[in-house]
With several copies, the nearest count.
Chain A
């Protein structure tokens, strides 16, 4: 099965060939590297930008205003925070122009901890991003969703923020990509992973002549923006999560099941808009809700979900709904003891789930 990096690459390739993508750019996005996480290797329209996030977002907006379809990358979401004003501009372009222009662009960036990234390669961005009107926001936890959400993002005429969890980029999915069911892992790798080398010069040399062998059969398989996925069904507790904490929560659910707690686990996948119907239906049924993410807790996106849940499912709630989020600290420390204490771990999920599931008034 393919990795998330491969899935994104394939979707972008499909976008270049079939959906009018004109530019895929950002720091080290073009050859020879093809992105620090390899997501843009071998793409026809990929190019390297100057080291300048403000320039990247502004340039993408300008391209969109000129009717192009750009995909820009911010190398780490940790470095997107100098562009919030520009993201706001992109988000208000359609509205402020009373419908004349749309900022038809996709911005992609990796989020979250889990790779010993220390203070500046562990940030989350979804909470601040969700506060910026005019954008749609997606955040897959599986390769197949990454593909389907990217296709949807490219088809959407609005600015879409494509976040993806850096800790899961190399994890292989368990679902085959529609159209590529016959292709083996190693075949795919041989076809679309750029050749490695021991030195940058060697890498550059090897890749100068390298051409990816894009598999045929790619489809416009979409995950509609706004549609969550029920990962597991259960009756005692609803866990709402996304990104890196979906697989973690899934593991926890197995353990909880053994303890007799049956969890309805929802992977949101889209954060704006998000799947209110599925969440409300579930919480109304279980009466108990736990939201899990790793962003810092004040004005956390989970608080938005919880506010909506409390408003809509108040009379069904049997225990205080809870947020399990990152610690309220200015950074993720590099030492693993610090990182583990700062973002929810398996044991934190189990404890929080037990608390919410077992509270009796």
Chain B
């Protein structure tokens, strides 16, 4: 059971994440940014993930191979939302890619957040590499990888499962599939004969759990207990979390708003729960949300004043000249 402090921390982090996404969406519609993709509708699950994760720069910390909808996780891990706004504003101050890549494509070496790649599902296979390093190293650091439901059709999904179950080299990976029932416009049920992605993991002998990703308490618990297994038993576990996709697939897919009420909003749901528990009051929630919205607007103003990358900088960082510092 979550204590009140944690509950409030989660709620406030969800609020920040939502306000951030709202701002990024606005930017994609104005001249302040281009393509938007992100995670409104996934805040409940992704925030819990961020709260429970252990970011850092060593093998004793966790490694993160994220899907492009993990802003709420980054926020929960302590990311300054300004950084995400800088990325959306394609400024050189974008600390993840220097104005090179889309929003949501995080990368932060100090936190073992490896580059988010647009190539769907390759992260499942790449994750086995960081996990092998961690297995060899010992300790309780784990590798966490997230993906959507549709992407699990790529061979790389089962490649990851297979490589993480090699005899003697079972890997400490927490596989997370956020199932929002769609890949862009294609329904999960149209192109998947198995009703649960989790079934596939079972075929590889991997423990798996299905959870309502819009339910904070359930998500927190399943992540916490799965992490405990992965951290201590050094073997993979998969969680399939059913989540909402509140703003459609992205800024560029036809019809990107979902009709009001068609999908659960995890933020309102959690707010109502905490209201019901008497932990917060309605006005308090509204003011927190307003504050965060205001803050994101201020961040945008700040980011807009920051420099663009220089044209000739395209030639920077093609080749490294020195060895990276060791983990």
Contact = CB atoms under 8 A, between A and B. Distances in A.
Chain A bound to chain B: yes
A156 to B, nearest CB: 8
Interface in A87-139: 89, 93-102, 104, 116-121, 133-134, 136
B132 A62 contact: yes
Interface residues of B, number: 87
A32 interface: yes
**Residue with the highest number of chain B CB atoms closer than 10 Å, among A53, A64, A82, A337:** A337
A199 B153 contact: no
A65 interface: yes
Contacts of A78: 118-119
A123 B258 CA distance: 31
Interface stretch (A1-9, A236-244, A263-271, A328-336): A328-336
Nearest to B131: A62
Nearest to B100: A333
A203 interface: yes
B324 interface: yes
A333 B97 CA distance: 9
Interface in A175-200: 196-200
A352 interface: no
B324 A101 contact: yes
Contacts of A198: 255, 257
A80 B50 CA distance: 33
B34 A59 contact: no
Interface string B187-219: 000111000000000000000000000000000
Nearest to B317: A99
A103 B42 CA distance: 31
A61 B120 CA distance: 16
Contacts of A97: 96-97, 107, 109, 115, 317
A354 to B, nearest CB: 21
A94 B154 contact: no
A85 B154 CA distance: 13
A346 interface: no
B158 to A, nearest CB: 10
Given A89-B119, A120-B118, A202-B259, 15 more contacts: A48-B185, A48-B190, A50-B191, A52-B163, A54-B125, A59-B132, A66-B59, A89-B117, A94-B318, A116-B34, A158-B320, A203-B255, A329-B314, A337-B308, A341-B312
Interface of A: 22-23, 27-28, 30, 32-33, 36, 48-55, 58-68, 70, 78-79, 82, 85-86, 89, 93-102, 104, 116-121, 133-134, 136, 157-158, 196-204, 327, 329-331, 333-338, 340-342
